[in-house]
Amino acid sequence: MSAATKSAPKPAPKSASKKTATPAPAPKPTAAANGIHPGSLLSITQLSLDEVSSILALADKLANEPLSKHAELLDNRKIALLFYESSTRTRTSFELAAKSLGAMTTLVSDKSSSIEKGESLKDTGLTLRALGAECIILRHNASGSPYLLAQQTGLPVLNAGDGMHEHPSQALLDLRTILSRLGKKQAVDEKTLDGVTICITGDILHSRVARSNALLLPRLGAKVILCGPSQLLPPEAVQLSTGITLERDFDAALKQSQVVMMLRIQKERLAGLQIDLADYQRQFQLNDERYAAYAPNALVMHPGPMIRGLEITADIADGPQSAIEEQVSNGLAIRMALLARALTGGAA
């Protein structure tokens, strides 16, 4: 048991609420402070660019070597996947990544566990630790919950999406996809994406993917355009980071962009917002006509799940400029690297 584990429980962070308000600068955890294990990844902002480069390099190594080379890297290590929200890509990706490194995994969901009976996140985390879990991958509908779990358990915690806050592993896999498709080096610095404009379009307000990408990509020199209707893109979003601009006209945003990242309308989070989906589709859907007219060579991305026919049409999603399946593949490599970092310090 680590010293961090033995320390007295710390108060829950104030950000551990059901929902965050309008996007604002994310908290910046100090990995070694507050009892948080240094192998945790709670926010993309906790990583220096050198650490981002290291994770990308490790992901590249693990993805390109035979399975037999790393199949015992995490031999019999115990990893818990604690999911309070539905997930296909992230959950499966983390689970396959863990198993490909030789780890044992267990899935705990809110629908089939003591969580359904009202058990707290703290008690569930402590129970998993008592059962031998050495790392917890957490998806939760409350922003800030990974900080709470990391502080209370002292275990490495990987944030697999917390409320409307962050999704740091998605930002890393998106970055790996962009660098690969644009022919950039994976040893990133402040100028790696100089001259590259990335348009993120859709439900920015509720998107933890947009938030993590908006916090990461400008640090590499990218210009990030956030695009969407006022209900889903508040003016305050421009404060997320330097290098961000807001644009309501999707066609104007596309004209400037080498990469366009589409987002799903998160109906489950609209909470009374009135969105005219027909009007949204007319103004913000990435379709063949719009793509050909304004950004015929742009790289197309989507974190999923996609609603074909709403934010993106099938011909674009399946077209030659689409990197959507590549994003999913890159997720496996990135998550292998994050697990190796969490449990071995990255010694792969």
The pLDDT of residue 4 is: 37
Q: What is the pLDDT of residues 113-131, one digit of tens each?
A: 777 778 899 999 999 999 9
- CA neighbor of 285 nearest in space, from 311, 304, 323: 311
Q: Is 107 exposed, middle or buried (0-12, 13-18, 19+ CB in 10 A)?
A: middle
The pLDDT of residue 2 is: 39
Q: Cis peptide leading into 305, omega within 30 of 0?
A: yes
Bridge partners of residue 107, in order along the sequence: 81
The contacts of residue 240 (CB under 8 Å, 6+ apart) are 23, 24, 25, 211, 214, 215
The pLDDT of residue 169 is: 98
Between residues 8 and 83, which one has the greater pLDDT?
A: 83
Query: Per-residue DSSP letters for 261-326?
Result: EE----GGG-TT----HHHHHHHH-B-HHHHHHH-TT-EEE--S---BTTTB-HHHHTSTTB-HHH
Q: What is the pLDDT of residues 305-324, one digit of tens each?
A: 999 999 999 999 999 999 99
The contacts of residue 278 (CB under 8 Å, 6+ apart) are none
Mean pLDDT of the chain: 89
| Mean pLDDT value across residues 186-205 | 96
Q: What is the pLDDT of residues 62-106, one digit of tens each?
A: 999 999 999 999 999 999 999 999 899 999 999 999 999 999 999
In Å, how far from its chain's centre is CA 289?
A: 30
- CA neighbor of 226 nearest in space, from 208, 242, 214: 214
Report whether pLDDT(159) > 90. yes
The model carries a pTM of 0.88
Q: What is the pLDDT of residues 17-39, one digit of tens each?
A: 444 444 444 444 444 557 899 99
| Mean pLDDT value across residues 192-207 | 96
